[in-house]
Amino acid sequence: MVIRNEEGLVLASCAKKIPVAYSGCEIETMAAAAALSFASDIGIKRVILEGDSLAVIKALRVDVSSLSPIGLLIDDVKSLANNFDELSYSHTKREGNQVAHGLAKCAKSILNLVVWMEDVLS
């Protein structure tokens, strides 16, 4: 995950290894929950959550519970939305966010979790 400010500068990023085999949608949804939790923990109040899974972004945008296999994970992400003053969802193709894609590749070689943060968040 990558947290950027209004100018697009990276404020914080995180890579986490997921040791069990999950589907792409499950991983994207777990990453969305982790990103919102991380953003909330560091005091971010206005968020645009970007993801490269159109199915996950569409599921997050609707106000009904999902009966899909990832429905409970989607509900977890939606419950985290209450921590923010503003939250919107944006679909971005993988090619559109090379930093996040690079972090996902990096996660394969770490033991558990790596976090990078700037000294001062604005």
Q: Region of 8 please: left (phi>0), alpha (psi -120 to 50) or beta.
A: left
Residue with tokens 């569409």: 58
- The model's pTM is 0.78
**Is domain 2-8+30-116 in CATH 3.30.420.10, yes or no?**
yes
Residue pLDDT tens, the chain, 122 long: 778 888 888 788 777 777 677 888 898 898 899 889 989 998 989 998 988 889 999 999 998 887 777 899 999 999 999 999 999 999 988 666 666 666 666 666 666 666 766 654 44
Angstrom distance (rounded) from CA 63 to CA 65 = 7
